[in-house]
Structure 1
Amino acid sequence: MLVEVSLHLQHKLETKLSLTPYVKQSLEILKYSLEELEHIIREEANANPLIELIEPNSEHLLEMARVPNSQASNYESDALFDPLLHIPQQDSSIEPYLMEQLAVQRRLTKSEREIVLYLIRNLNESGYLDCDMEETAERFRVPIEKCDELISLLQSFEPAGIGARSLRECLQLQAARDGNAPKHTEALILRHLEDLAQGDFQFVADLYGVPKREIENAFSYIKQLNPRPLMAVQSARQELIIPDIIVEEFNGEHIISINDMYLPQISINPHYEELLRITDCGETGTYLKTKLSDAILLMRGIEQRHETLYKVTESILKKQRAFFQKGTKALVPLRLKEIADHVGLHESTVSRTISNKYIRTPKGIFALKTFFIRGVKMHNGEVESPLLIKEKIKAIIDSEDRNKPLSDQKIANLLLAEGIPIARRTVAKYREELSIPQSARRTKK
């Protein structure tokens, strides 16, 4: 049997999304904080003879706001403020340390690895997870249960307590991994930290039907757990927060400026520029052209970073105007997608823009992430701010019968009756953030 084989050419049109070197460079530079960018510029200058650096004016640097991370009093204090957001970026040795543990997880799919890597990159310096799970699920188009599963995987890494979303969870993860932890330790962490902190050992002992000494021993154990797990694997250091954006008030208007005073200015070395005009061919000419192209890409990338940062900041502040009158208490629910749609950028680009960036305002210095709050969708379709819901929870507790205080579930039911669908665990979370003890503790008082 003979089979006839023929060869022929066929034209086919395809549309492919391709990133130019300029776009790739711009996206890479966009994610850097001010200090990281300064380091990158100096590295490039060392490797590229065409780049000359003009050092920043030292007098300007002295005027620039640089806030030690220990001076919490410099920040506005209210229920929304989270000091973990204001800790400087983590040491670069942390990510590889966790990546080594991720590499041995052989059964993960490519998309699962990408999600875990995303979670690792959203750990703050203390080791707490600093990202919204619903937004993460939407970003990677997976069920939220899958995100919870991968968070549990991350929480199994070393050091114990990594990937926790609260102090309670951090301590509970450490106790759960210790086979020698005293009996009832996890339950005490999750339900009775306030009681233990106030020394009500007999009250807790009566609840569990155990001797008071047993509760005291458990509390001694809890106190030696590490509330900041990543501190165990990185050297302690005093760092300064340098704001990437500065907002100043002038005649009732808020003026945004990108802080580039800290950065050395880039220029092209005139000697090599002249040599390039003379030597237009050969290996030397090719080398000089390549280095010139690299220098121009770097300068354009920095310029693009500044433009994008300005546009995104301007959009954020337009959405959060009340912040300048009342501070963080007046922040309204805001998501990355709203800003992305408003400025015409991809959501991932906005995420890069706000990552590890700080803004100096008349109200203090804040991480840009501070301005993004996930609201609760009401039955009428409106989105309610968590701050207002906290006020409602506080008002309900303030008016309750002291002899019969309301459980978190009953508070959730009352809010549901007002058209606010909220889970019991969310009520518990908000109550704890308000420093209000649970119902058993309120009964005792």
Structure 2
Amino acid sequence: MDLKAGLWQQQSLKLAMTQELTQAIALLQYSAQELTAFLENKALENPLLQVENKNIQPINPLIDRNRRKKYNNKNTENEWIEQIAAKSSTTEDQLINQLTLHKYSSRQLKVIKYLIENLDVNGYLASEPSEISEFLGVPLELVDECIIVIQTLEPAGIGARNLQECLVIQIERKNLADHLALTILSDYFVPFAEKKWKHIAKELQIPIQKIQEVFDTVQQLNPRPGSRLEQENASYIIPDAIVERFEGGYSVRLCNDSIPKISFNDQYYQKLTSTQDSQVGRFLQEKVQDYHWIMKSIEQRKETLTRVVSKIVEKQSCFFEKGREYLVPMTMKEVAAELEIHESTVSRAVKEKYVQTPIGTFSLKSFFTSTIQTVSNENTSSSQVKNAIASLIETENKQNPFSDQEIVEVLKTSQGIVVSRRTVAKYRDQLGIASSSKRKRFD
């Protein structure tokens, strides 16, 4: 082995991730809201970058007062819902407001409020009563009494310590006098949940159809009572692109209404260039270059996004014409190859972006599905296979539901779709459909 020291020259090519390239990549994956926030932050750093938000217009109070008054009177009836102020109320407030406070001592109220603050998002008590008793320095009996108080509040099941107790509280609250349901939930909860009903029926000496009736009742209960107390503001999706239908096909345009207008602050630039300070000169040169890079990155983003959406529309024309069940197989690698760009560029272009179409607004990522083999020469998409599985299970005999292997055979013989049993199980789980043993009914 030659281990002599020496000097050699070697020529190689490397891709250097410059700050400008990193910025261009970041802008591509930004949604419209993220891009707006980025530009507003850049405007604070770069005095040569002017950001004008299109949704904010200056108002002259002397000229526009009468115009606004006339407009508001005209549109009050049509836009009244937009003028309603959203009232926010916490879970704690909603529960405390149900209590008759003067009925409880200050000590009890202290424990009750602490218990309410320790409810998780499902409405369950997150801490053990013994831990609460020790932390607050109060008797365990007082904690148990206060837990019962909370469990009398609405919605039924709030303050339960687990799913079993939550369901029992709701059965009792319904005042159904359903002793069988209470017995099964209290004494046979695990085998009941696992649908090991034959053992329960034998021990209780009842027909298995009675257990099916209890199961149907339990299905109507709410396992997450805390979710009814959650108040979320309505979220609105702002599409990044719009697909419009015309006589000859479809057109694609970017939705730039939510993105602020960018301009160069020439007045500020001219004012500073008149100075002879070298540091000011370097500062201006840096900020001018930064401005041009941002403008170039935005244009590249527009061009790439337009090309990707146009290619999606071209390849998914059946989807736009006939509906969701006609989504054809399409991968990011395939689109990237046809556009002659890298697959990661396509991935960034569609990340967290939406497109508005004549049949609804969709995530760009939802158009990409894997290819599933069929017995014919044509392929189908994973989305179509999921729809086929869901449709098959919906129409099955519930007393003798299809197993995953039987679904494999039916898909192959009736629709020519070739999938494995493992794939069926995976897609069924993604659709939130239980296994055949848990779908079986006994009536």
The two structures share one fold, judged by TM-score above 0.5: yes
The match for 1:123 is: none
**Quick check: 1:37 aligned with 2:38?**
no
Counterparts in 2 of 1:321 and 1:208: CA distance versus 1, 3 Å: farther
**C-alpha distance in 1, partners of 2:400/2:218?**
29
Please say if residues 322 and 331 of structure 1, whose CA atoms lie closer than 8 Å, have aligned partners that are also in contact. Answer: yes
Q: Which amino acid aligns with 1:410?
A: E
Deviation at 1:359, TM superposition (A): 0.8
Q: Of residues 165, 181, 206 in structure 1, which corresponds to 2:197?
A: 206
**Quick check: 1:374 aligned with 2:373?**
no
Which string of whole-angstrom CA distances, capped at 9 and with x for unpartnered residues, describes residues 275-307 of structure 1?
A: 465457711100111111111111111111111
Unaligned runs of 5+ in 2: 58-120, 122-159, 168-180, 186-191, 205-210
**C-alpha distance in 2, partners of 1:433/1:291?**
51
The higher relative CO (CA closer than 8 Å, separation ≥ 6) is in: 1
Please say if residues 415 and 422 of structure 1, whose CA atoms lie closer than 8 Å, have aligned partners that are also in contact. Answer: no
Please say if residues 182 and 218 of structure 1, whose CA atoms lie closer than 8 Å, have aligned partners that are also in contact. Answer: no
**Quick check: 1:347 aligned with 2:343?**
yes
Q: Which has the larger displacement, 387-396 or 404-413? A: 387-396
**C-alpha distance in 2, partners of 1:394/1:221?**
24
Q: How does 1:241-390 map to 2 (within 5 A)?
A: 241-275=237-271, 277-278=273-274, 282-378=278-374, 382-390=378-386
Which string of whole-angstrom CA distances, capped at 9 and with x for unpartnered residues, describes residues 397-440 of structure 1?
A: 68867764432222224445656122256257449849798466
The match for 1:78 is: none
Deviation at 1:382, TM superposition (A): 4.8
Deviation at 1:329, TM superposition (A): 1.9
The match for 1:224 is: 224
SS in 1 for 2:349: helix
**C-alpha distance in 2, partners of 1:41/1:367?**
24
**C-alpha distance in 2, partners of 1:267/1:419?**
55
**C-alpha distance in 2, partners of 1:368/1:239?**
18
**C-alpha distance in 1, partners of 2:44/2:384?**
53
Q: Of residues 231, 234, 253 in structure 2, which corresponds to 1:238?
A: 234
**C-alpha distance in 1, partners of 2:312/2:38?**
27
Counterparts in 2 of 1:14 and 1:209: CA distance versus 1, 3 Å: same
Q: Which amino acid aligns with 2:197?
A: D
**Quick check: 1:51 aligned with 2:42?**
no
Which string of whole-angstrom CA distances, capped at 9 and with x for unpartnered residues, describes residues 200-238 of structure 1?
A: x8995734527769979987997028789xx99xx9443
User: Identity across aligned pairs (percent)?
Assistant: 30
Please say if residues 29 and 37 of structure 1, whose CA atoms lie closer than 8 Å, have aligned partners that are also in contact. Answer: yes
Deviation at 1:180, TM superposition (A): 5.8
Which string of whole-angstrom CA distances, capped at 9 and with x for unpartnered residues, describes residues 158-200 of structure 1?
A: xxxxxxxxxxxxxxxxxxxx996659x9xxxxxxxxxxxxx9x
Deviation at 1:17, TM superposition (A): 1.5
Q: Which amino acid aligns with 2:366?
A: T
The match for 2:80 is: none
Please say if residues 320 and 332 of structure 1, whose CA atoms lie closer than 8 Å, have aligned partners that are also in contact. Answer: yes
Which string of whole-angstrom CA distances, capped at 9 and with x for unpartnered residues, describes residues 85-117 of structure 1?
A: xxxxxxxxxxxxxxxxxxxxxxxxxxxxxxxxx
Which string of whole-angstrom CA distances, capped at 9 and with x for unpartnered residues, describes residues 19-50 of structure 1?
A: 34432211011111101111111111111111
The match for 2:419 is: 421
The match for 2:137 is: none
Which string of whole-angstrom CA distances, capped at 9 and with x for unpartnered residues, describes residues 38-82 of structure 1?
A: 1111111111111122331669xxxxxxxxxxxxxxxxxxxxxxx
Q: Of residues 20, 23, 29 in structure 1, which corresponds to 2:21?
A: 23
SS in 2 for 1:240: coil
Which string of whole-angstrom CA distances, capped at 9 and with x for unpartnered residues, describes residues 107-157 of structure 1?
A: xxxxxxxxxxxxxxxxxxx9xxxxxxxxxxxxxxxxxxxxxxxxxxxxxxx
Q: Which amino acid aligns with 2:223?
A: K
Counterparts in 2 of 1:440 and 1:266: CA distance versus 1, 3 Å: closer
TM-score with structure 2 setting the length = 0.57
SS in 2 for 1:35: helix
Please say if residues 398 and 439 of structure 2, whose CA atoms lie closer than 8 Å, have aligned partners that are also in contact. Answer: no
**C-alpha distance in 1, partners of 2:401/2:257?**
56
**C-alpha distance in 2, partners of 1:268/1:432?**
50
Counterparts in 2 of 1:35 and 1:440: CA distance versus 1, 3 Å: closer
SS in 2 for 1:209: helix
Please say if residues 390 and 434 of structure 1, whose CA atoms lie closer than 8 Å, have aligned partners that are also in contact. Answer: no
Q: Which amino acid aligns with 2:420?
A: I
The match for 2:72 is: none
Please say if residues 50 and 272 of structure 1, whose CA atoms lie closer than 8 Å, have aligned partners that are also in contact. Answer: yes
**C-alpha distance in 2, partners of 1:387/1:354?**
18
TM-score with structure 1 setting the length = 0.57
SS in 1 for 2:257: coil
SS in 1 for 2:292: helix
Flag the structure with larger Rg.
2
**C-alpha distance in 2, partners of 1:237/1:398?**
34
**C-alpha distance in 2, partners of 1:226/1:333?**
40
SS in 1 for 2:365: helix
Counterparts in 2 of 1:391 and 1:28: CA distance versus 1, 3 Å: closer
Q: How many residues are paired up?
A: 306
Unaligned runs of 5+ in 1: 1-5, 60-125, 127-177, 186-198
Which string of whole-angstrom CA distances, capped at 9 and with x for unpartnered residues, describes residues 293-346 of structure 1?
A: 111111111111111100110111111001221222211121111111111121
Q: Of residues 371, 378, 403 in structure 2, which corresponds to 1:407?
A: 403
Q: How does 1:39-118 map to 2 (within 5 A)?
A: 39-56=37-54
Please say if residues 276 and 289 of structure 1, whose CA atoms lie closer than 8 Å, have aligned partners that are also in contact. Answer: no
SS in 1 for 2:352: coil
**C-alpha distance in 1, partners of 2:7/2:435?**
76
